Amino acid sequence: MTDIDTKLLRSFLTVAAERSFSRAAARLGCAQATMSQRIGQLEGLIGLPLFQRNYHDVLLTPSGKDLVPQAQQVVDAHDGFVGFARRGQVEGSVRLGIAEDYVLPMLPQLLRVLQHRLPSVELSVVTGLSRQLCQQVDARSLDMAVVTLMTPIPTARKLAEPSLHWVAAPHFLLPFDSPWPVAFFPEGCAFRSAAERQLNIKGAPHRLALISASGQVIHAAVAAGLAMTVMAAGTVPSDLRVLQHPNLPELPSTCIQVVTRAHGMSAAMRALGDVVAELW
């Protein structure tokens, strides 16, 4: 009978997620040559090629794609066993995505709680637009993600349904004789889509004063009075204010939710999801 070290399976899953031997090696703290040796050893043990290698990218073969969920189940089961054997201590790794809107208000508190309650959970965090994070979860490059979408996903864990607000600096005044300046994330942002839809319905003249994938850049621009933007209730920084004006179109609510990868959740994912829900 062939015994396969879970270290080989972790390496396989990491290369599949990163699509790079060098990035996978950096993430697991080993040399790139070691990572290549592990994948070669695993391919030798199962007798199948797992990756198509070229200069620019590393792609899963059809056999590799079929084995990803199975390998994930084995690794999750191993981590669950170790946690059970160690008197219920949760162990494992989780690749978590957080929507750019919630990184600053959420991440520091989340990391503090994890240090005390889940010290054996290895967390990797990726930030981005909600729709992109959902795609990464579907592609299994992320295990779970905290996202904001206008409609709930049936399989997701709903956290809250806050209303959206127009937000600006305290000294910002809505111009009367020129298009309204707005600062948004790139296309694909649910907040931007909702805001632009309402502006167009109302026929409100507006211009894109800033587009950035960085929440910090948008915050800085809005705080400087360059533009107004859209934020969810409960996330407005103290140096900004909710903008009240009769000409501004009313905005809908959004849905904050946790989406998870298919083929089951590990004990570490469930524990992390519970912590995220408690923090909301």
Q: Which residue has the tokens 């609510």?
A: 253
122 — pLDDT class (breaks 50, 70, 90): confident
| 120, pLDDT greater than 90 | no
| 161, pLDDT greater than 70 | yes
pTM of the model: 0.71
The CATH number that applies at residue 217 is: 3.40.190.10
Q: What is the pLDDT of residue 1?
A: 65
pLDDT tens-place string over residues 59-97: 999 999 999 888 888 888 887 787 777 666 777 888 899
- Residue 56: which residues within 8 A CB-CB, separation 6 or more? none
Average pLDDT over every residue of 129-152: 88
**Is residue 156 one of the residues assigned to a domain?**
no
**Is residue 33 one of the residues assigned to a domain?**
yes
Least confident of 1-10, 87-96, 120-129: 87-96
Q: What is the pLDDT of residue 87?
A: 66
How far is residue 106's CA from residue 83's CA, in Å, rounded to a whole number?
Answer: 27
Top-confidence residue, 261 or 182: 182
| 273, pLDDT greater than 80 | yes
- Number of domains the chain contains: 3
84 and 108 housed in the same domain: no
131 and 65 housed in the same domain: no
CA distances from 9 to 73, 76, 123 (A): 10, 11, 18
| 169, pLDDT greater than 80 | yes
Q: What domain range is 212 assigned to?
A: 164-253
Q: What is the pLDDT of residue 271?
A: 87
182 and 98 housed in the same domain: no
83 and 196 housed in the same domain: no
Q: Which of 66, 89, 112 is the last residue of a domain?
A: 89
The CATH number that applies at residue 15 is: 1.10.10.10
222 — pLDDT class (breaks 50, 70, 90): very high
C-beta separation of 71 from 9 below 8 A: yes
**Is residue 157 one of the residues assigned to a domain?**
no
| 17, pLDDT greater than 90 | no
97 and 54 housed in the same domain: no
258 and 238 housed in the same domain: no
Q: Token digits for 218?
A: 């948008």
Task: Report the C-alpha dihedral over residues 41, 44, 50, 56, rounded to 10 degrees.
Answer: 60
Percentage of the chain exceeding pLDDT 70: 98
Q: What is the pLDDT of residue 192?
A: 92
C-beta separation of 100 from 127 below 8 A: yes
100 — pLDDT class (breaks 50, 70, 90): confident
**Is residue 3 one of the residues assigned to a domain?**
yes
What rounded mean pLDDT belongs to the chain?
88
206 — pLDDT class (breaks 50, 70, 90): very high
169 and 231 housed in the same domain: yes
C-beta separation of 32 from 53 below 8 A: no
**Is residue 47 one of the residues assigned to a domain?**
yes
Average pLDDT over every residue of 189-207: 92
pLDDT tens-place string over residues 252-263: 999 999 999 877
How far is residue 98's CA from residue 110's CA, in Å, rounded to a whole number?
Answer: 11
Q: Which of 89, 116, 142 is the last residue of a domain?
A: 89
C-beta separation of 234 from 56 below 8 A: no
